[in-house]
Structure 1
């Protein structure tokens, strides 16, 4: 049995997956700070009181609507597991990017520059309730993980979480296949970061100083990196069903391109969690797996980027099948896009589209579903069981 909680994370993602009567537990993102404080924290305290722990916490990428709640949780959880024990965290930071790093102490000018980059995001930090908790420069998730000595990407030997053939065991019954990001998407982040440093100071010394992680994360969380590309949002209702199905989009966000996506395997069940991953990453890797005879039949698919038309395609839906498609959003940025929903409906699958908030605009599809005799149901819930 798998119990899935899809928290009301406003425009973000926050999931708690429990396997085998909570013997194995995973968290995938934690939405905004209030998502953690209002919803997730109470569940974690309850799990802890009943003798359970979190086997894996996955932070798919650094956009605020995925990471902000995690920062607040780690801050409160501290080094002594004040809320609940976390056995491992997956999170890609500056040190997982490929740079030629020198073993030399930073100059004072470089230290000042990195601190200034951190402070550029101070308004966002104040809004999120983040503050100095006594760890040197540890205002971002990386600093908290360092300061509190969390196991961080240990199942990846301390390296980046990226696409690979290795299947990673989380427990005796739960394993993960990572399908995104690929290294060139992480390299795109590295290029943006290096350009930023070069614009601030020529010939910056790149090394493993923890201050780099703080500055990198704060910079990548600036609004310019997670702005939405609205391809059809304002006029989507003017399209016919067939036109919506044919609408194409492409996500160009560097942070979304770095998003961790993976297949969870448990006792014959398969669950595909896509974070905000780019469609090309996902499609290419699933094609490779399919070519090796891997069946792409899922119990659950967490639709990428809150149901954005830029992160889904007809070709992807022709490749996979799923009993449930999960979409996490309160409707901000006009998500889910009608183009994304139309593609799922048109795929002809007998499936449920599950959202964690009601979306009245989805009712527009009921006529098309009846006319084409598609077996698609729209369900709004925050918790369900796969068995």
Structure 2
């Protein structure tokens, strides 16, 4: 049996996969997502004698990491987890990269770091019903919480990078999880960007890994405004432009560092793309499968909530599936983009595609009225908390 839940995570991501009895949680939205939707399911899993076999934090971005901070803060010590046992965690933080030697921190450098730590994780840049508050517990990084509560982290203590090219990871019942991204280079680019941001705050130290530095790393990366593609989207609701006319590649360092996975169970394959860059996924899939395509998966989680900056025509020429998952309520950046959705269903197919959303958005509503250019059949469905069977 292969099934999954796509939780209502506002403008974020949160997925629970049940693959032949092995359970994988991929991101957890904001704190409220975890408390209101995910925690009850995990408690039920624990009550039935189960565990989380893998917990994945795809990248350090507020709409993905907030609920995981809440989870690890609340779950307690090993052997006495208050919610559910977790066999292993994947999370690329500062310690996951070899740190080049640098100058020691001065007293003023430590003051900068402590000021960031005291500030904690910032609230999402929205207000009202779309904002998900970060709880008071989240004044420490996920890295610090994982160490403090003694989780098996990146196969050890978090000092290993979880990147593409590693051998597949085997879970119980023969389930395999392969890393499709990121590359080590993308993680190094995020660290470089963070150092530049810290220099703007008058930090001149060497950023040697310690708890205060790790806290500052995650807190700055999670909500600091990052570089945007050169073209600002100005597409009207009535636009008839094709994806190749509006696509501009993502350049956000945090999105570039996103963990992307291929989960295989009982002959079925799920592709979870996090917020990864399309170009990186194309390179890795060609390395694994060659230039031919499209390669058929059983379900694909669309990258970055369906943004026009993370799904390219090139990528769609390599991948297809009867199930596509689009996670966003349309707030903040107005994802998903209609041009991405139309390109997915306009391609010829011998099967019917189902496009699952966790919220009704202007783009999903418009897609319902769309007629595929190739005549391919598709359905649009909105599912919150319910299981999607693959």
TM-score between both structures, scaled by the size of structure 2:
0.88
Give the one of 342, 355, 373 matched to 1:353.
355
SS of residue in 2 equivalent to 1:154 = coil
Aligned pairs (5 A) from 1:250-289: 250-289=249-288
Aligned pairs (5 A) from 1:83-94: 83-94=83-94
Indicate the residue corresponding to 1:53 in structure 2.
Answer: 51
Indicate the residue corresponding to 1:318 in structure 2.
Answer: 317
Contact 1:48/1:85 (8 A) holds in 2: yes
SS of residue in 1 equivalent to 2:340 = helix
Q: Do residues 249 (structure 1) and 238 (structure 2) align? A: no
Give the one of 379, 383, 387 matched to 1:384.
387
Measured after TM superposition, the shift of residue 360 of structure 1 is: 4.6
Contact 2:91/2:158 (8 A) holds in 1: no
Indicate the residue corresponding to 2:364 in structure 1.
Answer: 362
Indicate the residue corresponding to 2:15 in structure 1.
Answer: 15
Contact 1:98/1:190 (8 A) holds in 2: no
Measured after TM superposition, the shift of residue 331 of structure 1 is: 1.3
Indicate the residue corresponding to 2:214 in structure 1.
Answer: 213
Indicate the residue corresponding to 1:114 in structure 2.
Answer: 113
SS of residue in 2 equivalent to 1:116 = helix
SS of residue in 1 equivalent to 2:58 = coil
User: Partners in 2 of 1:229 and 1:37 — Cα distance?
Assistant: 37
Measured after TM superposition, the shift of residue 221 of structure 1 is: 1.4
* Cα displacement string for residues 322-360 of structure 1 (whole angstroms, at most 9, x for unaligned residues): 111100011112111011111101222331111011235
Indicate the residue corresponding to 2:69 in structure 1.
Answer: 71
Measured after TM superposition, the shift of residue 5 of structure 1 is: 0.6
Contact 1:130/1:139 (8 A) holds in 2: no
Deviates more, 1:282-291 or 1:195-204: 195-204
SS of residue in 1 equivalent to 2:123 = helix
User: Partners in 2 of 1:203 and 1:10 — Cα distance?
Assistant: 37
Return the structure number with greater helix share: 1
Change (3 A) 1:185 1:314: same
Change (3 A) 1:336 1:198: closer
Runs of 4+ deviating beyond 6 Å: 226-230, 292-295
* Cα displacement string for residues 99-135 of structure 1 (whole angstroms, at most 9, x for unaligned residues): 2247x98554433221123234455399411337xxx
Measured after TM superposition, the shift of residue 156 of structure 1 is: 9.5
Change (3 A) 1:318 1:293: closer
Count of residue pairs the alignment pairs up: 377
Aligned pairs (5 A) from 1:91-110: 91-101=91-101, 107-110=106-109
Deviates more, 1:304-313 or 1:214-223: 214-223
SS of residue in 2 equivalent to 1:190 = helix
Indicate the residue corresponding to 1:41 in structure 2.
Answer: 39
Indicate the residue corresponding to 2:303 in structure 1.
Answer: 304
User: Partners in 1 of 2:304 and 2:362 — Cα distance?
Assistant: 19
Measured after TM superposition, the shift of residue 184 of structure 1 is: 1.6
Contact 1:245/1:343 (8 A) holds in 2: no
Q: Give me the CA root mean square deviation.
A: 2.7
Indicate the residue corresponding to 1:237 in structure 2.
Answer: 237
Indicate the residue corresponding to 2:377 in structure 1.
Answer: 375
Contact 1:307/1:341 (8 A) holds in 2: yes
Aligned pairs (5 A) from 1:149-160: 149-154=150-155, 158-160=159-161
Contact 1:229/1:251 (8 A) holds in 2: no
User: Partners in 1 of 2:315 and 2:121 — Cα distance?
Assistant: 40
Indicate the residue corresponding to 2:168 in structure 1.
Answer: 167
Measured after TM superposition, the shift of residue 155 of structure 1 is: 6.6
User: Partners in 2 of 1:141 and 1:290 — Cα distance?
Assistant: 35
Change (3 A) 1:164 1:294: farther
Gaps of 5+ in 2: 125-131
Contact 2:52/2:84 (8 A) holds in 1: yes
Indicate the residue corresponding to 1:135 in structure 2.
Answer: none
Measured after TM superposition, the shift of residue 12 of structure 1 is: 0.5
